[in-house]
Amino acid sequence: MKLSKRSNSIKPSPTLAIDARAKALKAQGVDIVNFGVGEPDFDTPENIKEAAKRAIESGFTKYTPVGGTDELKEAIIEKFKKDNALSYAKDEVVVSCGAKHSLYNIAQALFEAGDEVLIPAPYWVSYPDQVLLNDAVPVIIKTEEENSFKITPELLKANISGKTKALILNSPSNPTGCAYDRASLEAIAGTAVKNDFYIISDEIYEKLIYDGFSHISIASLGDEIKQRTITVNGLSKSHAMTGWRIGFAAGPKNIISAMTNIQSQSTSNPASISQKAALEALKGSQDFVPKMVSEFDKRRLYMIERLNNMKGVSCLRPVGAFYAFPNVSSCYGRRFNDKMISSSFDLSSYLLEEANIAVVPGGAFGDDKYIRLSYATSMENIQKGLDRIEAALSALK
């Protein structure tokens, strides 16, 4: 018996695959420095854990409404008002099992065969596969490092067709750490309104920003763009809650209602206990967030400086998220013993096997000139890991 065409059209998330290989080597006793991770290395704050314990002890352990409890939706509505100058009603918000799940449900609600979905590259690994899983066509648009990997209206226009259904935006970006300023967002919003396509705005790294950058939600730029935007966010990155699986989306009522129906026939509600934890994350003390961000900031500055001092490496200074995305393409064509390094995959596998460093090849994000290093790991690890990378790169002939 054959598997469906759909399931054959996709591959497992390459970031999770590298992480698994690094963990396997570690389990064998190899001293791996893991720059592959995509989650904060901080523990979930105590007040959030306490809220979850209270939920268990008070018996809040049953089904909730499919799209999340009213109190959690209200807290999310408050968050959008306060942080993003966006006002939504309860039927314009849905809580899912992680932001990835929200994104998937959007894809299910909007896409079908014949649709084209614009995805700027470098992109987060799940976007193209979620589009493919829903029978639509990902249209990958390569952006330029010189323009901080931002998509321009010109690039957009060159890729719009009668079949264009949506653009997936991610600011701040995983993997590049770049983010869109107001003027760039206004230009994109204008193009989306004029050509009548949706914007799916993944803002999961909104709170992790540096150098005084201020995050802007594209949906807040006017009524016309708000009607065409679904904003996705969650607590995984901002509150170190990756394992709790809470994400959410806000947008036009008909789309949110379709997403809720899809959820009602697949996962049902996100875990009741996690919803209580999420409520505390949104409404309780926010002291944790700036502390984590300032720690990330120190590591960011150190990592970027070290990378830029390595021969053959150049790295933009990211303003968000917790990744460095250095250009390593000048190492391609060089050799270790008789093995030629000719792609980001070769280089990543060389770094893992010979220097015991896990990084993610840029090719997985749609641009082979780069590798992604996460600085969501201790300063000590970062120092050790960068020493090893420097030595490994200078060993190439």
> Which residues contact ligand PLP (rule: CB under 6 A)?
38, 98-100, 124, 170, 174, 202, 204, 234, 236-237, 242, 247
Pairing of strands 334-336, 323-324: unpaired
Q: Pick the closer one to ligand PLP by CB: 83 or 387.
A: 83
Helix (H) or strand (E) holding 344: helix 344-355
Closest approach of ligand PLP to the CB of residue 124, in Å: 4
Closest approach of ligand PLP to the CB of residue 395, in Å: 32
Q: Pick the closer one to ligand PLP by CB: 111 or 350.
A: 111
Closest approach of ligand PLP to the CB of residue 122, in Å: 11
Task: Please tell me the distance from the alpha carbon of residue 27 to that of residue 22, in angstroms, as a whole number.
Answer: 9
Residue nearest to ligand PLP (CB): 98
Q: Pick the closer one to ligand PLP by CB: 170 or 356.
A: 170
Q: Pick the closer one to ligand PLP by CB: 282 or 393.
A: 282
Closest approach of ligand PLP to the CB of residue 95, in Å: 11
Task: Please tell me the distance from the alpha carbon of residue 202 to that of residue 90, in angstroms, as a whole number.
Answer: 20
Closest approach of ligand PLP to the CB of residue 237, in Å: 6
Q: How far is CA 143 from CA 74, 120, 312, in A?
A: 37, 6, 21
Q: Pick the closer one to ligand PLP by CB: 99 or 221.
A: 99
Neighbouring-strand partners of residue 120: 141
Q: Pick the closer one to ligand PLP by CB: 278 or 355.
A: 278
Burial class (CB in 10 A: 0-12, 13-18, 19+), 21: middle
Phi, psi of 234 (to 5 degrees): 180, -175
Q: Which two structure tokens, joined as six digits, stand for 378?
A: 């201790």
Task: Please tell me the distance from the alpha carbon of residue 121 to that of residue 124, in angstroms, as a whole number.
Answer: 8
Neighbouring-strand partners of residue 372: 360
Q: Residue 37, CB half-sphere, CA atoms under 13 Å: how many?
A: 19
Instruction: Judge whether 66 and 95 are in contact, CB under 8 Å.
Output: no
Q: Which two structure tokens, joined as six digits, stand for 131?
A: 């589009």
DSSP-based three-state secondary structure for 9: coil
Task: Please tell me the distance from the alpha carbon of residue 209 to that of residue 201, in angstroms, as a whole number.
Answer: 17
Q: Pick the closer one to ligand PLP by CB: 208 or 396.
A: 208
Unique residue bearing structure tokens 């206004």: 186
Q: Pick the closer one to ligand PLP by CB: 124 or 375.
A: 124
Q: Pick the closer one to ligand PLP by CB: 99 or 110.
A: 99
Instruction: Judge whether 117 and 111 are in contact, CB under 8 Å.
Output: yes
Closest approach of ligand PLP to the CB of residue 38, in Å: 6
At position 80, the amino acid (one-letter code) is F
Closest approach of ligand PLP to the CB of residue 121, in Å: 13
Phi, psi of 354 (to 5 degrees): -95, -30
Instruction: Judge whether 40 and 242 are in contact, CB under 8 Å.
Output: yes
Unique residue bearing structure tokens 């209602």: 257
Q: Pick the closer one to ligand PLP by CB: 102 or 356.
A: 102
Task: Please tell me the distance from the alpha carbon of residue 110 to that of residue 115, in angstroms, as a whole number.
Answer: 9
Closest approach of ligand PLP to the CB of residue 162, in Å: 29
**Peptide bond connecting 40 to the previous residue in cis, omega within 30 degrees of 0:** no
Unique residue bearing structure tokens 């993003």: 84
Closest approach of ligand PLP to the CB of residue 128, in Å: 13
Q: Which two structure tokens, joined as six digits, stand for 304?
A: 């970027």
